Structure 1
Amino acid sequence: MTTKNQQITKFKGVILFLHGYTQNSSIFYAKTSALRKKILKLGYKCKYLNGPYVLQPSDLPTTDSLSKFGSSDNQDVTYRGWWIKNDHTNDSIDLDKSIDSIRNYIENGILIPDDESQNKEISKESEEDKELPIVGLIGFSQGASFAGLIAENFQNLFNTKNPLKFVILYSGFKLDTSKSSKNDKYNSYYDEELNPDLKYLHVYGELDTVVDEVRSLSLYNITKPKSDLLKHPGGHFVPNSKLYIDQVVNWIQSVTKDDNEKVTNQPGKGDVNEKKSKLDTKDDIESLLDMMEGFGKA
């Protein structure tokens, strides 16, 4: 007879969580607690990785704006990113260090701590964990942009046994890879033929003032054939109401099951307006109040 604890430890795979700009793994861990609990029940292990760049005061937005980035104004926080902005733009960036940090985790099980002073305590994955396949990526803001860039080419970049099954992008955006941006060396990363079976879920807030709708749809528009879209009536944050978490979790179930198995209550394909989530009148008042409380917050 299998006990409850034994069931929890028998994971089917790993999902990597990539935090946003001016966040770190601990902040993102706290802000996605409800989502993580539901994912664990599906049998997937959640691993939160840190961007390798420690942000300096000159890299940060104003204190008043930090909350808009889903961050914290706690002075003891080590703010991190997946790339450093040049003159507060995303032009001429270098992602090699971030790609290497993902590779170092996958190949050696090394996790970068939140605070550089904790380097002596860098943890390593168990051999059992290292054998689990990485099935998906979940990113927020800059972390979502980075996830969207490495997703198609994930198996080749990191020499994994299997390609990714899905990527979920909260307030994500496509990196500008035009020649004028000087990021054109990353243009080939968005080649959909690299992983034709990869599925995307793009989630964004209608009141997001950090990554607006046009930017949020930039990656969706080039991945439409294998993408779903979910809007929420909030700002620049990961919605934590039961309504939206259930839809995301149901979507994960749908893309990790056999093609002939159907899952209900998942975001559907079609026109953007058709994909907008509609509140079911049977949803409890607590979920609605939770979402309303989050309006404009990060």
Structure 2
Amino acid sequence: MASPKPVKILMLHGYTQNGSLFRAKTRVLEKRLQKALPSVSLTYPTGQIQLKPSDVPGFDGNPTESTEAYGWWRRRDDSDPPEYAEGPFDGVIGFSQGACFAAVVASLLDGDTRRKAFEEARSRSKHAIAYPKSFEDLDHPPLKFGIVYSGFIPPGERYEALYNPPIHTPLCHFIGSLDSVVEEARTQKLVDAAGGNDKTQVIVHPGGHFVPTSKQYLDIAAGFVEQAMRPKPEVNGNKEESAEDMDVLAVDLLNPTPQAEARKHKLKTLVPAPRSFFMDVKCPGCFTITTVYSHAQTVVVCAGCSTVLCQPTGGKARLTEGCSFRRK
């Protein structure tokens, strides 16, 4: 029996970290991924820029001392992303600045669509960056997945081509509700810029600026990678799914049928709101999928086990800890 094909993941550390430190901080995640995918191989490069003490927030030591703190770029750094001999990679995982860089790598590997986006952006604005030279001749397929912890996007029209059109690679976003370094609004901009063929997932945890290592969050990350690496089923001809076989919950919510009224979970109250959307929410207990309106004004419970999935907060549906969702 042939051994399974290795699953190679690129691990990108945050600002002021290095590859060795990031591996130490994510060792429990590495073990969980190895349990789910025994053939997984993680690569932890270190950023090419060694930071000076003055670059490290809160550093009070001798400014001439050397540090083991590294970054992928400093502000106003116009250099291309670094080149490494490892790969090709199936996916990428990044934290903070590394999460921003992970999304950039996923975007640049989108293929001809992304190259065309750079050309169009350059034709519209002289400030737009060109497609990086280090990626022009790179023979690497699009990534199958990305997991980003406390991610964000760089501001300004210079980088528009990286996110418009949205990133094709499926991304799983982890957001700390108490993160004071990368605020939720900044991460939300990256969420909005990641299309991923409707495969984007967002998980909110009650912590701050770190990679959550509780079992439920490790299981979500491992499950996301497993799903991305699962062989895609073959499509039989051009047969489309029948409308009768689809769970059109958006219609049910707007015009509930007697069958919908009898569901175990409460129907959501719809309110007019800009940029509102429906989302599939996965229960952290029984993993049942329930559709929730982003601006629901009632408590929503799981149809499978009656776990509370969200509550109205400030006009929006605030998801319960451990829930994951993707926009419909």
Residues 252-294 of structure 1: CA deviation (Å, up to 9, x unaligned): 1112213459x984998866667845459xxxxxxxxxxxxxx
Residue 61 of structure 1 deviates from its aligned partner by 0.5
Name the amino acid aligned to 2:156.
T
Q: CA separation in 2, counterparts of 1:51 and 1:267?
A: 39
Q: CA separation in 1, counterparts of 2:292 and 2:232?
A: 19
Greater helix fraction, Structure 1 or Structure 2: 1
Is 1:233 aligned with 2:223?
no
Greater RCO structure (CA 8 Å; 6+ sep): 1
Partner in structure 1 of residue 153 of structure 2: 174
Q: 2:21 aligns with which of 16, 27, 47?
A: 27
Q: 1:253 to 1:271 in 2, by over 3 A?
A: farther
Task: Give the secondary structure class of the aligned counterpart of 2:17.
Answer: coil
Unpaired segments ≥5 residues, structure 2: 112-134, 235-281, 295-309, 311-316, 324-328
Q: Is the 8 A contact 2:205 2:321 kept in 1?
A: no
Task: Give the secondary structure class of the aligned counterpart of 1:229.
Answer: strand
Partner in structure 2 of residue 165 of structure 1: 144
Name the amino acid aligned to 1:214.
A
What's the Cα RMSD here? Answer: 3.1
Residues 71-98 of structure 1: CA deviation (Å, up to 9, x unaligned): xxxx87510001113xxxxxx33241xx
Partner in structure 2 of residue 18 of structure 1: 12
Residues 222-256 of structure 1: CA deviation (Å, up to 9, x unaligned): 22534110110000000011111011111111122
Q: CA separation in 2, counterparts of 1:254 and 1:266?
A: 16
Is 1:94 aligned with 2:90?
no
TM-score (normalised: structure 2): 0.59
Residue range with higher mean Cα deviation, 198-207 or 32-41: 32-41
Q: Is the 8 A contact 2:99 2:151 kept in 1?
A: yes
Task: Give the secondary structure class of the aligned counterpart of 1:45.
Answer: strand
Is 1:248 aligned with 2:221?
yes
Partner in structure 2 of residue 44 of structure 1: 40
Q: 1:216 aligns with which of 176, 187, 209?
A: 187
Task: Give the secondary structure class of the aligned counterpart of 2:212.
Answer: coil
Residue range with higher mean Cα deviation, 47-56 or 271-280: 271-280
Unpaired segments ≥5 residues, structure 1: 65-74, 86-91, 110-129, 179-183, 281-298
Give the paired residue count.
220
Task: Give the secondary structure class of the aligned counterpart of 1:134.
Answer: coil
Q: CA separation in 1, counterparts of 2:191 and 2:10?
A: 20
TM-score (normalised: structure 1): 0.65
Q: CA separation in 1, counterparts of 2:148 and 2:289?
A: 14
Q: 1:267 to 1:201 in 2, by over 3 A?
A: farther
Q: 1:57 aligns with which of 53, 60, 82?
A: 53
Residues 114-162 of structure 1: CA deviation (Å, up to 9, x unaligned): xxxxxxxxxxxxxxxx5xx411110000010111122122265262342
Q: Quick check: which has more Rg, 1 or 2? A: 2
Q: CA separation in 1, counterparts of 2:34 and 2:5?
A: 8
Task: Give the secondary structure class of the aligned counterpart of 1:15.
Answer: strand
Q: Is the 8 A contact 1:205 1:232 kept in 2?
A: yes
Q: Is the 8 A contact 1:140 1:170 kept in 2?
A: yes
Q: Is the 8 A contact 1:82 1:143 kept in 2?
A: yes
Q: Is the 8 A contact 2:172 2:202 kept in 1?
A: yes
Q: 1:58 to 1:271 in 2, by over 3 A?
A: farther
Q: 1:220 to 1:268 in 2, by over 3 A?
A: farther
Q: 2:176 aligns with which of 195, 200, 205?
A: 205
Task: Give the secondary structure class of the aligned counterpart of 2:222.
Answer: helix
- Runs of 4 or more, structure 1, over 3 Å off, are 258-261, 263-280
Task: Give the secondary structure class of the aligned counterpart of 1:152.
Answer: helix
Name the amino acid aligned to 1:62.
G
Is 1:152 aligned with 2:100?
no
Partner in structure 2 of residue 121 of structure 1: none
Q: 1:83 aligns with which of 70, 73, 80?
A: 73
Percent of pairs with identical residues? 36
Task: Give the secondary structure class of the aligned counterpart of 1:251.
Answer: helix
